[in-house]
Amino acid sequence: MKKAIFALPLLVTCAPAENTLPKPVEYTFSKTPSWSDEFNGEGLPDPSRWSYDVGSPYNGWGNNELQYYTEARKENAYVSNGTLKITARKEKMDGLEYTSARLVSKGKADFLYGRFEVRAKVPAGRGTWPAVWMLPTEWAYGDWPNSGEIDILEHVGYDPDVVHISTHTKDYHHSIGTQKTAKKKIENATTEFQLYRVDWTPDYIRGYVNDEQIFSFANEKRDFKSWPFDKKFHWLINLAVGGNWGGQQGVDEQAFPALFEVDYVRVYDLVKP
Q: How far is Cα 245 from Cα 25, in angstroms, rounded to an integer?
A: 35
Among residues 154, 192, 253, 261, the one annotated as catalytic is 154
Q: Within 10 Å of residue 1's Cβ, how many Cβ atoms?
A: 9
Q: Within 10 Å of residue 161's Cβ, how many Cβ atoms?
A: 16
**DSSP count for the chain of H helices, then E strands:** 1, 20
3-state helix, strand, coil in the chain (%, to 5): 5, 45, 50
Closest CA to 260 of 136, 108, 153, 110: 153
Closest CA to 269 of 207, 215, 201, 218: 201
- Inter-residue contact 109 to 91 (CB < 8 Å): no
- Active-site annotation holds for 253: no
Among residues 149, 187, 212, 261, the one annotated as catalytic is 149
- Active-site annotation holds for 149: yes
User: Known catalytic residues?
Assistant: 149, 154
